[in-house]
Amino acid sequence: MTSIRGHRIVALEMARKLLLKAAAPPAWNLNAEQFQITLERSAVHRFGAASAPDATADAKAASAYFESLRLADLALACACSAGNSAAWDHFVAQYRPELYRAARAIAGESSARELADSLYAELFGLREKEGRRKSLFDYFHGRSKLGTWLRAILAQRHVDDFRRARKTDSLDDADDGEQSNEPAAANTAPDPEREKYLVIMQAALTAVLAALAPGDRLRLAYYYVEELTLAQIGKLLGEHEATVSRKLERTRREVRQQVEAALLEEKKLSEAQMRLCFEYAREQWPFDLTLGLEAGQARSVSTRD
Amino acid sequence: MASREQDNASGKAPDKSPDKAIDGLLRRTLARTAPSQDCPAPDILAAYCDRSLDAGETTRYELHFSACAHCRTQLAAMVRAGEPEAAEKQSNGWGWLAHRWWFVPAIATAAIALVISVRLVRNSYEPVPMQQVAMNAPSPAVPPSSEAARDSGTSTDTQLLDRAREKTAPPAASTRVPEKRKDLRLAVPSKGEFDAKSPSPRSLSKMQDAEGTPAAADSLTAQPEPASSAASRGVAPAPSAARSSGVRSSGAGSSRAGATSGFTAQNQVQQQNQRQNQQSNQPQSQQQNEISAQVQSQTVQVEAQEAPGEHEEQQASSSRSGAVGGAAAPAPRSDSKQVTRAAPLYSAEGKMVLKSDKAAVRNAKKSSILKIYSSPDDGAWWRLPDDGYVEFSPDAGETWHRKLLDANAELLTGAAPGGRIFWIVGREGVIYLTTDGTKWKKINPPDNIDFVAITARDARSASITASDRRVFTTEDGGKTWHIATP
């Protein structure tokens, strides 16, 4: 690769300087030209080929971006991709334990080995494309730590495999078995209004959730759906654990208040009917109102008690 | 926010049904989000986890993640896989033996903690033999930090009440109390907006280590108050009415009978303490020092059966630090004995853990809501009414100015050392300082931890206590902090 748009995104001098900063061991035989190509690929991935900062026209922006990269990890990925055995040995020694550990945490003990080994093969570059060995390292752009990127690859593969195996749209259906342990008292004394109340309830909640700020919705999803701990949510969102807890509580309180307001004011339910909505929602678990929502069956209940 | 486990375990009350329904609905509805077609590549997810994306990218991708169950699942798997402790558990069950270097200090620490806790538990849980007496437990051998607190802005309750005492207490009463009893609290009838609030839990949960602090007998004093003053509770004497309006003072009145029984109780406690002191063959000052070091603020309130129609309240509070010792509200009248323990910063067990720390934070928060911090040499008052807000009164409560410091901050307590200087500390490393009452400066904290107490001498010198019992001091207005383990 000589250029992206007919001119260099990364000057060779800058690539040499960044390579020096990466402190790649001489045994990796990594030269500035190779690193220049890797850096340019990273810049194009970040900014797109059309808007990547020009080495001459926008040197400051380009420099700021490249300085923010994990250069040591990027150099290791570059050397491994080039097939340097010393770099590969270093990678195996450095990341093999972490890779297997992450695989065990993600896929469990039984599938961990298979998951990690398949990744090893792709990292090493067993596949060839147009006569050239294609390594998965080419997709590492240095914007994160190499270990984090490996975990992301593992997680993506595991989730994809899981979805394929389940042949379902949503991984979250796995929770159904657990959730079905909730009492289903509704079946014993069916209320003709039950389904209608549930549809109304679900519609109100969906509207309230759609109006939430993305951060609040994401926090709720991490907590209720992914069942992360407060500390894990805080790590993902860059918040203190106590802040996560406080914001979750506030959001949940607001959601409940807004759902109640929607039921009382918009749907014109009485207090008793609203309580029934909550009761049915709690008892009939799980209930699938998706079809009801899609059919637009959310209709208001007319009169108050 | 209660954890999921707590939600599942305890949310069974009937009024929790809507909450449970909401929890279930949230779980179900949020899980229904369909996978998106343009999910970011793993390197973006990795950069997001490492917080390496810029602000614009973070916002954009969080918007995507909030609607994409596929990406959220990957992120959840990643963050779980990144937990180091999980790795240690799974990779090598005996790996902890490789780090045996901490064994010796850990065992030594545990042994010391055990010895201290046994001693303190023995001292702390002796039955209180008194009735109808309010006691406090200051010590003659007060640690330097306590002295500093007494002289500092956190003792503003004391100073405020001392002023009120000078104005309200009759000469006879004041002459019966030694001058050194700075920590005594006299009833200051309170009225105004704070009267409408519930009494401070902290003020109602006074703790007294009567048996464990022999020297406490020296300071056990029931501040007598004339019957006329006690009878006219709620109507402040004219000179102090203006200043005490709206103030939740750190004390309450005492009846004549209460005072009498209080002195009787004092003698009994003295005798009992002397007996115990002889039995333990421990120097009085040494034991006092231990208690002073371990228990930062402890008072006890015993309300005993009184004669019908003569329900008089009597309480005294001790707040040697003054920072977390909540300003006392008028105690609810009760005919039953009530001995409750305030949440100490330093537990008697000597093994303060997260649960206890949370209790300290919670109590500091409750106290701060009801408390007014007054400058000892100025008419400046402050109060912390709600999350993130501070209210300032330049004219001793006549007018209040409300200012939002940080909506996300939880302000726990403050210290007004003088002039218009006011320090505020709170959760997650929140420290604020003002020198003129209006302009606030956010101070860089020594650690991102909850701060539950503060003492200050001026705008440069302050000492803050973290929820894990560490004490940090500054002598340059918060530019640098030094740790001082109590």
Which residue among B28, B30, B35 sits closest to A286, beta carbon to beta carbon?
B28
**What is the spatial distance between Cα B302 and Cα A205, in angstroms, rounded to a whole number?**
51
Specify the pLDDT at position A73. 92
Specify the pLDDT at position A262. 85
Q: Which two tokens stand for residue B277?
A: 């002191």
> A158: distance to nearest CA of chain B, Å?
9
Q: What is the pLDDT along chain B (486 residues), one digit of tens a residue?
A: 444 544 443 333 334 556 667 777 777 777 766 656 688 888 899 999 888 888 888 888 888 888 888 888 889 988 888 776 444 544 444 444 545 566 778 888 888 888 888 887 776 555 444 434 333 433 444 443 444 434 444 333 434 444 444 444 444 333 343 333 333 333 333 333 333 333 333 333 333 333 333 333 333 333 333 333 333 333 333 333 333 333 333 333 333 333 333 433 444 445 555 555 554 444 444 444 444 444 343 333 333 333 333 343 333 333 333 333 333 333 333 333 333 333 444 444 443 444 446 666 666 666 655 678 888 877 888 888 766 788 888 887 778 888 888 877 888 889 988 888 999 998 888 899 998 888 888 898 888 888 888 989 888 899 998 888 888 899 888 888 888 754
In the structure, how many helices (H) and strands (E) does chain B have? 17, 14
Question: Can you tell me whether residue A57 is helix, strand or coil?
Answer: coil
The neighbouring-strand residues paired with A163 are none
Q: Does B26 touch chain A (CB under 8 A)?
A: yes
| Nearest in space to B467 (alpha carbons), one of A249, A237, A241, A239 | A241
| Nearest in space to B383 (alpha carbons), one of B414, B420, B405, B419 | B414
Specify the pLDDT at position B200. 36
| Nearest in space to A121 (alpha carbons), one of A136, A106, A141, A138 | A136
Chain B segment 65-104 residues within 8 A of A by beta carbon are 65-67, 69-70, 72-83, 86-87, 90-91
The neighbouring-strand residues paired with B301 are B134
Q: Which two tokens stand for residue B270?
A: 């003295």
ipTM score = 0.78
Q: Calculate ∠ Cα A3-A23-A51, nearest 5°.
A: 30
Q: Which two tokens stand for residue B260?
A: 């009498």
CA dihedral A92, A95, A100, A101 (to 10 degrees): 150
Do residues B157 and B250 lie in contact, with contact meaning Cβ atoms separated by under 8 Å? yes
Do residues B373 and B425 lie in contact, with contact meaning Cβ atoms separated by under 8 Å? no
Question: Can you tell me whether residue A149 is helix, strand or coil?
Answer: helix
The neighbouring-strand residues paired with B134 are B301
> A12: distance to nearest CA of chain B, Å?
25
Specify the pLDDT at position A149. 92
Contact A232 B20 (CB under 8 A): no
| Other beta carbons within 10 Å of B141 | 16
Residues of B in contact with A152 (CB under 8 A): 42-43, 45-46, 49, 74, 78
Q: What DSSP character marks residue A182?
A: S
**What is the spatial distance between Cα B347 and Cα A40, in angstroms, rounded to a whole number?**
59
Cis omega (within 30 of 0) for bond into A286: yes
Strand order in the sheet with B421-426: B411-418, B421-426, B431-434, B440-442
CA dihedral A74, A77, A79, A85 (to 10 degrees): 150
Q: What are the distances in angstroms from CA B306 to CA A95, B186, B265, B334?
A: 75, 20, 15, 9
Specify the pLDDT at position B275. 52
Specify the pLDDT at position A135. 86
Residues of A in contact with B59 (CB under 8 A): 214
Question: Can you tell me whether residue A170 is helix, strand or coil?
Answer: coil
